[in-house]
Amino acid sequence: MKPSIILYKALPDDLLARLETHFTVTQVANLKPETVQQHAEAFANAQGLLGSSQTVDSALLEKMPQLRATSTISVGYDNFDVDALNARKIALMHTPTVLTETVADTIMALVLSSARRVVDVAERVKAGEWTKSIGPDWFGIDVHHKTMGIVGMGRIGLALAQRAHCGFGMPILYHARRQHAEAEERFQARHCDLETVLQESDFVCVVLPLTEETQHLIGKAQFAMMKKSAIFINAGRGPVVDEAALIEALQNGEIHAAGLDVFEQEPLPADSPLLSLPNVVALPHIGSATHETRYNMAACAVDNLIDALNGKVEQNCVNPQVVR
């Protein structure tokens, strides 16, 4: 008999078919308690769980006594209670690498659009305000050859460093827990403490995972350290930044502008002050959102679940050490 799994995200037809050759699939809209209750038997029998962007906590795991593997269509896994998974020796699979280049492209898009005011001035053109040759009130600031500060020099940080250094001639400062030889050799990146990155960078790009250590790592004191001309980018996770402090820093002119793909609350509430600040580019968490990359992530997650339920956790497993 094929193992049963719960799928909580729509998949392209060919990937759903691949999943169904290996498993009996119950597809649900979400992992809310009422959904779990409605499909109680399927959850009780499921050995696998596949989807994205939903909380997987101990309350859910209690309803899934047979669960052996979870597979998220994302690289970030802060929405999972990893300790609870570890306690039950449940594998957690994720999709690093396949999205790295696309996310780095998104971050460069935020850098360029914040600095050159692409969104702001395009809206002015559409509003019919381009009636004569433009003046300094339409100007932006240069990106090329400015100092790029990267907080989190992992896979995405490295791909960002490549774009910034090789494409835009930017010197790179970075902060991570350890030194990264590849970034230093290929892009002459300089490993610094967080304070130095914040003080010396023209662009501060945060590409950190959300953990107990990184939650609100960037707050009032950190914005105060940045240059008044600095542009702040967050493409890691919203709660890494104290959003109230960011809003204050933008309103008080402590920093020049911000480009944001992630927020403390997503979707961003319609009354967020960020939406009325002209020096903010706010994106709806589109880091990896291209047709190609989202397909590749879903394919990777399907393969990951097939592998994990066959006892193969050498690749893309967050907790291989606990899996039997």
List residues near ligand NDP by CB under 6 A: 75-76, 96, 99, 103, 152-157, 175-178, 207-211, 213-214, 235-237, 261-262, 285, 287-288
Question: Binds 96, which of ligand O=CC(=O)O, ligand NDP, none (CB < 5 to 8 A, cut-off by type)?
Answer: ligand NDP
Where does this chain touch ligand O=CC(=O)O (CB under 6 A) — which range of 73-81, 85-93, 127-135, 244-252? 73-81
The angle formed by the CA atoms of residues 29, 81 and 302, to the nearest 5 degrees, is 50
Detail the DSSP E strand segments found in the chain.
4-7, 24-27, 48-51, 69-72, 91-93, 148-151, 172-175, 190-191, 203-206, 231-234, 257-260, 280-282
Distances (CA, A) of 324 to 4, 69, 71, 309, 310: 19, 11, 17, 11, 11
> Is 180 annotated as catalytic?
no
Give the Cα separation of 62 and 320 in Å (integer): 21
Q: Which does 50 bind (CB under 5 to 8 A by kind): ligand NDP, ligand O=CC(=O)O, none?
A: none
74 binds ligand O=CC(=O)O (CB under 6 A): yes
Q: Which of residues 99-138 bind ligand O=CC(=O)O (CB under 6 A)?
A: 99
Question: What's the one-letter identity of residue 128?
Answer: G
| Residue 237 designated active-site | yes
Distance between CA 89 and CA 76 in Å, rounded? 20
Question: Which residue sits closest to ligand NDP, CB atoms considered?
Answer: 154
Binding part of the chain for ligand O=CC(=O)O, among 5-13, 18-26, 72-80, 153-161 by CB under 6 A, reads 72-80
* Residue 236 in the binding site for ligand O=CC(=O)O (CB under 6 A): no
**241 vs 238: CA distance, rounded Å:** 6
With tokens 């995200």, the residue in question is 9
CB-nearer residue toward ligand O=CC(=O)O: 180 or 285: 285
Q: What is the largest CA-CA distance in the chain?
A: 72
- 47, 66, 248 from 58: Cα distances, Å: 16, 14, 36
Catalytic residue (one of 117, 237, 243, 256): 237
- 88 included as an active-site residue: no
Q: How far is the CB of 46 from ligand NDP (least distance, A)?
A: 26
Nearer to ligand O=CC(=O)O, 113 or 288 (CB): 288
Residues marked as catalytic: 237, 266, 285
